[in-house]
């Protein structure tokens, strides 16, 4: 009896699995070309969904695959999104800015709102897919219709890449990650205006001429392993996707500590 009921169960499970896979037989849409800083400013089509709390900033309102924290606070202020492969670009897309808008359903205002890429999503549902925070998704709605729009769940949108503009007084910020030591430095770079995304990070010890290149670690984190201990203060240089360079002199002080945030002056 036991064996016959378990084989019935197995059969039922395999039928269910077949049904589920054909229900999921929605064709996988291949990702579109990478959205780099040089693609222009053409509006393109995308799908949008949302996650986390209805008025929140994403997963536990606290970052995601880019490694940012406090994404519910200024300057991201919860206007955050996961990008699919050509938008997240293995972490390269972290910090890039997009305008998004929708016209259907009726709850859509049609007005563009600006979102920051802070996380990754890989569902193959569209060439371009923005999985938005509940707050960002609702922001595409007419006033008072935010919840109606969120109820739609998945909405066709248009998007374009734009320059990032942070509120006046926002400084490029370097978070020296936990576990950093004189022989291992990991820095998370955030709030870079303009292109927003960073493609190279170098550091220089005070009084030296030589820049030392960091490697991409994950998300917005860059790392350096060095046999020769690094001595602060360190100047950090970052290069954006479009080739703009910025330098923050002596931003990491001599007595730097891991798990600490340093702002450019
Ligand atoms: C798209 O971006 C990813 C991540 O940076 C990169 O590995 C890949 O080569 C890029 N693809 C193209 C076609 O440039």
**CATH topology (fold) of 44-162:** Barwin-like endoglucanases (2.40.40)
What separation in Å is there between the alpha carbon of 45 and the centre of ligand 1? 20
Which atom of ligand 1 is closest in space to residue 34's alpha carbon? 1
Q: Which atom of ligand 1 is nearest to the CA of 33?
A: 13
Q: How far is the CA of 42 from the centre of ligand 1 (A)?
A: 20
Do residues 119 and 84 lie in contact, with contact meaning Cβ atoms separated by under 8 Å?
Answer: no
The DSSP annotation for 30-43 comes to: PP-----TTS-S--
Query: pTM of the full predicted structure?
Result: 0.88
| Strand 97-101 relative to strand 155-162, pairing | antiparallel
Answer whether 128's CB lies under 8 Å from 65's CB: no
Residue 85 Cα to ligand 1 middle (Å): 9
Query: Which of 3.40.50.2300, 1.10.10.10, 2.60.40.760, 3.20.20.70 would CATH assign to domain 173-263?
Result: 2.60.40.760
Peptide bond into 105 cis (omega under 30): yes
The closest of 199, 195, 228, 197 to 213, measured between CA atoms, is 199
Asked if residue 12 has pLDDT above 60, the reply is no
Nearest protein CA to atom 1 of ligand 1, as residue: 34
> What is the residue-wise DSSP string for 181-222?
BTTEEEEEEE---BT--EEEEEEEETT----EE-EEEETTEE
**pLDDT range class, residue 26, cuts 50, 70, 90:** low
Q: What is the pLDDT of residue 113?
A: 98
Question: Using CA atoms, how far apart are residues 24 and 112, in angstroms rounded to an integer?
Answer: 32
Helix (H) or strand (E) segment spanning residue 160: strand 155-162
Between vectors from CA 252 to CA 59 and to CA 197, what angle results, nearest 5°? 45
pLDDT in tens, 205-254: 999 999 999 999 999 999 999 999 999 999 999 999 999 999 999 999 99
The 10s digit of each residue's pLDDT in 160-207 is 999 999 999 999 999 999 999 999 999 999 999 999 999 999 999 999
For the stretch 65-76, pLDDT in tens is 999 999 999 999
Ligand 1, atom 11, residue with closest C-alpha: 34
Greater confidence (147 vs 6) lies with 147
Q: Where are the domains of the chain?
A: 44-162, 173-263
| Cis check: omega of the bond before 233, within 30 degrees of 0 | yes
As a whole number of angstroms, the longest Cα–Cα distance in the chain is 82
CA dihedral 5, 11, 17, 19 (to 10 degrees): -120
Pocket of ligand 1 (CB under 6 A): 34, 89-90, 92
Identify any residues that bridge with 101 across adjacent strands, giving them in sequence order.
158
- At 60, list the tokens: 């536990």
């Amino acid at each position: 009896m036991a064996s016959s009921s378990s084989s019935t169960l197995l059969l039922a499970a395999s039928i269910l699995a077949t049904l589920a896979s054909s229900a999921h037989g929605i064709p996988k849409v291949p990702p579109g070309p990478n959205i780099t800083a040089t693609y222009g400013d053409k509006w393109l089509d995308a799908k949008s969904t949302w996650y986390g709390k209805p008025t929140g900033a994403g997963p536990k309102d606290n970052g995601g695959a880019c490694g940012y924290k406090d994404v519910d606070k200024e300057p991201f202020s919860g206007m955050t999104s996961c990008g699919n492969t050509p938008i997240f670009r293995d972490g390269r897309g972290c910090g890039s800015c997009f305008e998004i808008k929708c016209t259907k359903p009726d709850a859509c205002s049609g007005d563009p709102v600006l979102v920051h890429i802070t996380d990754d999503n890989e569902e193959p549902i569209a060439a371009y897919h923005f999985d938005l925070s509940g707050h960002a998704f609702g922001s595409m709605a007419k006033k008072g219709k935010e919840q109606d729009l969120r109820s739609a769940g998945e909405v066709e949108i248009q998007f374009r890449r734009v320059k990032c503009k942070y509120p006046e007084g926002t400084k490029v910020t370097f978070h020296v990650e936990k576990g950093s030591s004189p022989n291992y430095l990991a820095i998370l770079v955030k709030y870079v205006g303009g292109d927003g995304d960073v493609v190279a990070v170098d550091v220089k010890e005070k009084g030296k001429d030589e820049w030392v290149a960091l490697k991409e670690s994950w998300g917005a984190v860059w790392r350096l392993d060095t046999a020769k201990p690094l001595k602060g203060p360190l100047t950090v240089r970052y290069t954006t996707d479009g080739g703009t360079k910025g330098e923050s002199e002596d931003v990491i002080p001599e007595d730097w500590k891991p798990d600490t945030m340093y702002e450019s002056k």
